[in-house]
Every structure is written in C-alpha cells, then in structure tokens.
Amino acid sequence: MQIPSLLLKDGQKIPQVGLGTWKNKNPEEFSISFKAAIDAGYRHFDLAQVYGNEILLGEAWKTHNLNREELFITTKIAIQNIGGGRTKSSFEDSLSKLQTDYIDLLLLHFPVTLLREKSWKALEEIKKSGRVRSIGVSNYTIKHLEQMKSYAQEMPSVNQVELHVFLQQPELVEYCRANNILVEAYSPLAHSRDMNDPVVERIAAKHSKSYAQIMLRWLVEQNFVVIPKSVSPQRIRENIDIFDFKLDDQDLNDLKTCDKDLRTCWSPVHVP
C-alpha cells in the first residue's frame, strides 16, 4: 500500500501514517511488528531515546536489507538530555544505535523549562550539519511555541502532541496551522479509552470499518500525521487500511461533538 505524504515547511515530505513504538522494546516482538509493518506498507517509524528501542530499529532495517532512503525515521531527545551539550552527545548516540548517518525528523520530547532554548539551538546546529532533515518539538503548547519566536532562527516543522477524537485541541491546531507547523498525532486511539462511544460506533458501522479505523481516518482527513502504536500484526495492518473510504460532512460534524478534553498521557499544559 502506498501511504500519502504531507509536505513540511522545510520542503521535506513525511508519510502520513507511521508506526508508533512506545513500550515496544522486546527484541522478538519488535522484529515481528517491524516485519508486519514493512509488509503492510509502513515506511515511517516513530521512536524516542527514552523508549529504549533505537538499537532494535537499527538492527531491524539492516536485517531486512532496506534502502535507508525508503525509510522515514523519527526520534526524540529525552528529557534528561535536554540542554545543548547533552542534546548533541545523545544525538550522536542515537545515530549509532539506529545505524544511520542522518535522521529524518528530530524532536525535543518535552518543553523542559530553562533548558529547552539551548536544546533547540543545538537542533538547529545539527540540522545545518546535514545530519537531520527536519526538526520539531513534541508536547509544546501555544505558550511554548510563542516563546520560541524570541530565540529560534527556524521554527519547528512539526509539533507532535496527543490528539484524537476525544482530545481535539482546536486552539493549538489552529495556531500550528497559522504558523505552518504540521501537527502529528500520538496516541491517536486514546490508549483504548472510551472505545464504546455511540457516535464513533455508528459511523464505523455505516462505513463497515472498525472503531479504531474511524478514529484514525478522522485525523487523516484533517491533514494530521498519525502514529498508531501496536505490536499485533493484525492491528498494524488494520491501522493502515484507512485510505479506501472517506468520512462525509455529517460524520465530521458528529465526531466534532466527541471532544471531551480526555488526556491519556503526560500533560504539558502547566509547564512554564
């Protein structure tokens, strides 16, 4: 399956669906899920230093004899590595584990107070060196992005945040779009919370699709990048099988009513 790509502000392209890998650090399980993903058509893999699985992806793509240019690899600078010097040294470590000489998208994982400015400047320097194609942030609010304007030579291409039908964050989405920052949705299935919403169930039945596929399609139709996480080959295939139908205007209006500000992960809202 050919997955559509979206254009970033820096001219790079990002596949619209990627495989999330949080908690996927059992070598055998990782290998099985990676093969299932490749066979299903995934080429975008979302990792982070804190996930502890960069080395597994490096081994997996080498084992499968894939061309590095076929893959889109994202990783994130861990909280403990936020700060100029630590950011650069940990990036070198990530390159080594991933067995590559460049990263497609490098993100700051969280807006750590006082240190995030130094880390962002380090990302800008790394990008200028050619070893990162795009840079961005994760879990940044409007406040954090506004503050960046005072020190960033280049604003983020991506803001990766928790986003799903139950946490729609319309103000943040509108801000990012106005500033040409692509929104990437992590935990797009809300960690299987509220998987019995009658609106989603009705729309799933209408399109003969699964509950999860409706949640993912809702994100795709709004030009978000989505990174559903699974280790099940069946669910990995199901999560990408969302390009053969479209939600109509009534579906989209009904799904808008599902927003309940449901956060299932860490919240950056109160971080100064």
Query: Residue 137 sits in a domain of what CATH number?
Result: 3.20.20.100
Q: Which residue has the tokens 């909280």?
A: 79
| 249 is a domain residue | no
| 116 is a domain residue | yes
| 247 is a domain residue | no
Range of 89's domain? Answer: 12-192+222-240
pLDDT in tens, 14-47: 999 999 999 999 999 999 999 999 999 999 999 9
Question: What is the pLDDT averaged over residues 206-231?
Answer: 97
Please choose, from the candidates 139, 132, 158, the residue with its C-alpha nearest in 3D space to the C-alpha of residue 16: 158
Model confidence band, residue 130 (pLDDT cutoffs 50, 70, 90):
very high
| 188 is a domain residue | yes
Q: Collapsing DSSP states into helix, strand and coil, what is residue 232?
A: coil
Number of H helices, E strands in the chain: 10, 10
Catalytic residue among 42, 51, 140, 186: 51
Please choose, from the candidates 154, 170, 167, the residue with its C-alpha nearest in 3D space to the C-alpha of residue 262: 167
- The yes-or-no verdict on residue 1 having pLDDT over 80 is no
In the chain, the percentage of residues whose pLDDT exceeds 70 is 100
| 62 is a domain residue | yes
| 265 is a domain residue | no
- Taking the whole predicted model, whether its pTM rises above 0.85 is answered as yes
| 53 is a domain residue | yes
Q: Give the total number of structural domains in the chain.
A: 1
Please choose, from the candidates 148, 202, 210, 158, the residue with its C-alpha nearest in 3D space to the C-alpha of residue 180: 158
Distance CA 164, CA 150 (A): 30
Model confidence band, residue 84 (pLDDT cutoffs 50, 70, 90):
confident
Is 175 annotated in the active site? no
pLDDT at 260: 94
pLDDT at 123: 98
| 198 is a domain residue | no
Q: Collapsing DSSP states into helix, strand and coil, what is residue 225?
A: strand
